[in-house]
Amino acid sequence: MNRKRLAIIAGIVILVSALMLMFWPDSQVDTHADEEVAETELPEGLVLIEQEQIRTAEIEVAAVQTGAAVELVFPATVAASPTASARIDARASGVVRSVGKTLGDYVRQGETVARIESADAAALASQLSAARARVTELSAAYERERRLFEANVTARQDLEAARANLDVARSELNRSQAAVAAAGVSGDGRSLAVTSPLSGRVTAAPIVLGSFVDAGEELYSVVNPSGLQIEVALPSEDASRIQPGDEAALILGDGREVGARVRSVTPSLDAESRSATAVLTLTRAVPGLQPGSFLQARIRPSGELDQSRIAVPEDAVQVLEGRDVVFVRTRRGFQAREVEIGSRSAGMVTILSGLEPGQRIATANAFLLKSELEKEGAEHGH
């Protein structure tokens, strides 16, 4: 019996000792250690932030919805608009005596690019000289008749006849001056100055020094690079979907995209190609773009949406360590999630993958969340 009691007492002692070890105050250290482990195990890209902080930072949150702008892709050609291109022809027959510009050179509006020695120039200069002499002669005759009339020597009829002759001569002088100016007759009276009607670059220069040219023969072509337009061939089934004002994007040969907008669409189809033509204007000048170049144009018909795709505001997409990310709202804050983006249109970005409809993401001021992650990364780096 005593042995049984001793065994019971020993068991109680062992049980009490075990309980003391379990609830010993040093166990608080383990709790802190667990907290530190939990803190270090936070998911990468998570920004811890309270609702009040979100409100103070004015971070807007919106649900992801389906519906992205429809894009139609067509072949396109770069062309110079009628007001941005010029063909410079010889205004009269003659011999090319000087060539001031060559292929690729920049010219200013009104600048002389060549000179042609022409018999027409000499004829025009001669007519101008004769008209000036005639005006001088009749001016003197009119003054003489006026003095005689004032002295009551001649009749008013003679004075009026002298004035009429002078008016006719002045009219002829004006005509001769206009002809000389239009032809570009130089001061030497033998050559014509060939000038550019607009500023731009020489894209063609078939002119040859010393050659004889006929009136109307092409000497230069000049194009203003800032006045280029894009011509897009629209199949008949798509022509009615495109309207002036629709947004577009041009895909250049190196993969870059340039914004554009539909300026006009031809109301009828071409008889041979059975297609309409949309004319696009560039939102900015593109260096190196040449007339005749072939491109691809993506046009977004207004009001058409692709319900199988997702689009989010541009401000929601941030670049973090070279990746496109959006910040998805979680219970504790925002989680950076990598996404694959597509085209941009009217302040929206198409998301190809990485998001699901219904998820709530940061839109306005999402860059503040990016800055917080970058700051934390810098602190951990040190």
Residue whose entry in the numeric block shows the structure tokens 């998301």: 351
The string of pLDDT tens digits covering residues 330-361 is: 988 899 999 898 777 667 788 888 888 888 98
Which residues contact residue 69 at a Cβ distance below 8 angstroms, ignoring those fewer than 6 apart?
247, 300, 304, 305, 306, 311, 343, 345, 346, 348, 350
What does the pLDDT read at residue 379?
63
Contact 120, 93 (CB under 8 A): yes
Domains of the chain: 46-69+306-380 (2.40.420.20), 73-81+228-303 (2.40.30.170), 92-215 (no CATH)
The string of pLDDT tens digits covering residues 62-109 is: 888 777 667 788 888 888 888 888 999 988 888 999 999 999 899 999
Torsion on CA atoms 184, 186, 191, 193, rounded to nearest 10: -40
The string of pLDDT tens digits covering residues 244-290 is: 988 888 888 777 778 888 999 988 887 777 888 899 988 887 777 77
Q: SS3 for 59? A: coil
Residue whose entry in the numeric block shows the structure tokens 């203003």: 224
What does the pLDDT read at residue 69?
65
The residue ranking higher by pLDDT, 120 or 267, is 267
11-25, 147-161, 218-232, 254-268: which has the minimum mean pLDDT?
A: 11-25
Confidence of residue 47 (pLDDT cuts 50, 70, 90): confident
Query: From CA 315, how far away is CA 336, in angstroms rounded?
Result: 14
Q: How far apart are the first and last CA of the chain?
A: 70
What does the pLDDT read at residue 39?
45
E strand or H helix at 178: helix 156-183
Q: Against a cut of 0.75, is the pTM above it?
A: no
Cα-based angle 40, 43, 45 (whole degrees, multiple of 5): 110
Q: What is the mean pLDDT of residues 151-166?
A: 87
Number of H helices, E strands in the chain: 7, 24
What does the pLDDT read at residue 274?
81
Q: Is the pLDDT of residue 113 over 90?
A: yes
E strand or H helix at 78: strand 72-80
Two tokens at 200? Answer: 């731009």
Two tokens at 51? Answer: 């609702």
The fraction of the chain above a pLDDT of 70, given in percent, is: 85
What does the pLDDT read at residue 174?
92
What does the pLDDT read at residue 73?
84
Q: What is the mean pLDDT of residues 149-177?
A: 87
The residue ranking higher by pLDDT, 12 or 272, is 272
Q: Residue 261: left (phi > 0), alpha (psi -120 to 50), or beta?
A: beta
What does the pLDDT read at residue 31?
35
- For the residues of 311-375, what is the DSSP string, one character each? EEEGGG-EEETTEEEEEEE-SSEEEEEE-EEEEEETTEEEEEES--TT-EEE-TTTHHHHHHHHH
Two tokens at 282? Answer: 């560039």
Q: SS3 for 293? A: coil
The residue ranking higher by pLDDT, 345 or 167, is 167
Q: What is the mean pLDDT of residues 167-188?
A: 82
The residue ranking higher by pLDDT, 39 or 205, is 205
Q: Is the pLDDT of residue 129 over 70?
A: yes
27-41, 124-138, 289-303: which has the minimum mean pLDDT?
A: 27-41
Two tokens at 352? Answer: 């190809």
**Average pLDDT of the chain, as a whole number:** 81
Confidence of residue 178 (pLDDT cuts 50, 70, 90): confident
